[in-house]
Amino acid sequence: MQDKTIKIFDTTLRDGEQSPGASMNTEEKIQIALQLQKLGVDIIEAGFAAASEGDFDAISKIASVVDESTVCSLARAMENDIKKAGEAIKNAKKRRIHTFIATSPIHMEYKLKMKPEEVIKRAVMAVEYAKTFVDDVEFSLEDACRSEMSFMKEIIDATIKAGANTINIPDTVGYLLPDEIYEVTKEVCNFIGNRAIVSLHNHNDLGLATANTLSGIQAGARQVECTINGIGERAGNAALEEIVMTIKTRSDKFEGFKTNINTKEIYPTSRLVANITGINPQPNKAIVGKNAFAHESGIHQDGVLKHKNTYEIMRAEDIGLSQNSLVLGKHSGRHAFKDRVSQLGYSLNDEEINKAFLRFKDLADKKKEIFDDDIRAIVTSQITKTEEMYKLVSMQLSDCSGGVPSAAVAIEHSGETITDAAIGNGTMDAVFKVIDRVSNIHGELKEYKVNSVTQGKDALARVVVKVKFEECKTPVMGHGLSLDTMEASAKAYINALNNYLSIKK
């Protein structure tokens, strides 16, 4: 009987990181990789080793801590890229190199400026060279879905002979419809037979990434590439949670199909990625959106109370969504806190637990009820913190209703507390001006987002900013968490400054 296990290849840390503004630091990537492993992802694409030193470093560190999932690096079909990928993953227990080259006429002519024969030669060279580093090599035909089938077969045949174990046929621009993906996948599967695994990688430009992926599975693909919350280049990639939950929920249509995903880890993983990237899924996002399991209308609420299945096709518990119950309070000890943190999917060392516990205690003194989402917010901001070269000590704001908005801010730097004050167009403007002046680095605020972590007037405010500093080409992200929105804003701005300085260093 044909094996119907679908391998889940997660590319949150590579294609997902290509979402505008989603760049993550090494610590953040390690936390996400460990959570992906816990989720049961078969292959983690940890990055693109040749892209930057930061990428290389993050992939190598992930390779040394992840021991169940395969760790993979992307590489263009170029010697240097493949060498870098091979070196970055060398400490992984299970490792893969994923190399690619474009195969569509438009990409070959205008982007690569290469003849089809040269493209095949390059692809074969890439796979053969990758094989000198690892046994497990994946080859992708970039823009496969706009490529000619006869050329695809030629290059697929050549790369399988060169040693490729997985052949990926991406819909790079999210163009095809589900029935077309079915046809392409079927033809490729028939051509390949059992010589390699066929993989899909669908982008969401027309909102069809998940539908296309599911259609390709029906046609014979046995690996799917996806991201948490569907983040990714442009409109994103197929969302892992949607693919996995459809296979599970519609087992009548996907009879015998299975994945190795522990669905109870879906929600914790989604929150971790959202907290780290600052990209929250839209409220009506399937599976992980805030409203995905909320019933607003009276008729629906009445129906669900009488029988859950009237309006629910999945159970919230199946994706690990607790109803945000009250978990800990002021009297909870370190042990209970540590337990809860690990139940929520975080692996913290003793020092990190101690620091997070102090923040928890501080919060519990001010806020009566502490929810899971509060703990997630505290822990994420703790573990992803870069070196605090500048640290907020205190701030005092003037009344902003009618008077001149001003701020006096005390900041710790190199063991010294510096105090300064400024006026601004609003109190926030004044605070940011003081920070610029104290650090002598000018930042331009490009984006500002504020969310409340839970409900309630005493909820924690979570601020995410993107700040463009003088010498940085792209804006740097910063997070801040506090019961006070202005304090959270100042912390977020200072966090962006610290991130910028650590990138520079």
According to CB under 6 A, which residues from 115 to 154 bind ligand KIV? Answer: 140, 142
Beta bridge partners of 75: 99
Which residues within the stretch 359-388 sit at the binding site for ligand KIV (CB under 6 A)?
Answer: none
Among 86, 163, 170, 475, binds ligand KIV (CB under 6 A): 170
Element (H, E) at 81: helix 79-88
Cβ 453 vs Cβ 463: under 8 Å: no
Tell me: does residue 100 bind ligand KIV (CB under 6 A). yes
Ranked by CB distance to Zn ion, the top (closest) residue is: 15
Q: Is 334 exposed, middle or buried (0-12, 13-18, 19+ CB in 10 A)?
A: middle
Residue 232 CB, nearest approach to ligand KIV (Å): 8
Partner whose binding site includes residue 100, from Zn ion, ligand KIV, none (CB under 5 to 8 Å by kind): ligand KIV
Extended strands (E) in 43-82? 43-48, 70-76
- Can residue 241 be called a binding residue for ligand KIV (CB under 6 A)? no
Query: What Rg, from alpha-carbon coordinates, does the chain have?
Result: 24
Q: Which does 107 bind (CB under 5 to 8 A by kind): Zn ion, ligand KIV, none?
A: none
Considering CB distances under 5 to 8 angstroms, the limit depending on partner class, which of ligand KIV, Zn ion, none binds residue 374? none
d(CA 165, CA 134): 11
Site string for ligand KIV, 419-458 (x = CB under 6 A): ----------------------------------------
Nearer to ligand KIV by Cβ, of 177 and 358: the residue is: 177
The residue among 173 and 423 lying less far from ligand KIV, judged by its C-beta, is: 173
According to CB under 6 A, which residues from 285 to 324 bind ligand KIV? none
Taking the complex as a whole, the smallest distance from the CB of residue 172 to ligand KIV amounts, in Å, to: 4
Backbone angles phi, psi at 377, to 5 degrees: -65, -45
Residue 10 vs 142, nearer CB to ligand KIV: 142
Q: Which residues pair with 44 in a beta bridge?
A: 10, 71
201-240 positions binding ligand KIV, by CB under 6 A: 201, 203
Q: 468 pairs with which residues across the strands?
A: 444
3-class SS string, 152-219 = HHHHHHHHHHHCCCEEEEEECCCCCCHHHHHHHHHHHHHHHCCCCEEEEEEECCCCCHHHHHHHHHHH
Q: What single string gives the DSSP state of each residue in 305-362? A: HH-GGGT-SS-GGGGT-----EEE-TT--HHHHHHHHHHTT----HHHHHHHHHHHHH
> Using the rule CB under 6 A, is 104 a contact of ligand KIV?
no
Q: How far is the CB of 499 from ligand KIV (least distance, A)?
A: 26
Q: Does 15 bind Zn ion (CB under 5 A)?
A: yes
Three-state DSSP class for residue 454: coil
Q: How many CB atoms lie within 10 A of CB 117?
A: 9
DSSP three-state, residue 441: coil
Q: What is the smallest separation between the CB atom of 202 and Zn ion, expressed in angstroms?
A: 9
Nearest to 167 by CA among 135, 134, 131, 196: 196
Q: In this structure, which amino acid lies at residue 151?
A: F
Instruction: Indicate which single residue of 7, 8, 12, 15 sits in contact with ligand KIV (rule: CB under 6 A).
Output: 15
Residues 166, 172, 406, 495: which binds ligand KIV (CB under 6 A)? 172
Min separation Cβ 76 and ligand KIV, Å:
9
3-state secondary structure 362-424: HHHHHCCCEEHHHHHHHHHHHHCCCCCCEEEEEEEECCCCCCCCEEEEEEEECCEEEEEEEEC
- The least distance separating Zn ion from the CB of residue 487, rounded to whole angstroms, comes to 39
Number of residues that bind ligand KIV (CB under 6 A): 9
For residue 436, the partner it binds in ligand KIV, Zn ion, none, with Cβ less than 5 to 8 A by kind, is none
User: Is 10 a residue that touches ligand KIV (CB under 6 A)?
Assistant: no
Q: Minimum distance from CB of 170 to Zn ion (Å)?
A: 6
In the complex, the residues that contact ligand KIV under the rule CB under 6 A are 15, 100, 140, 142, 168, 170, 172, 201, 203
In the complex, the residues that contact Zn ion under the rule CB under 5 A are 15
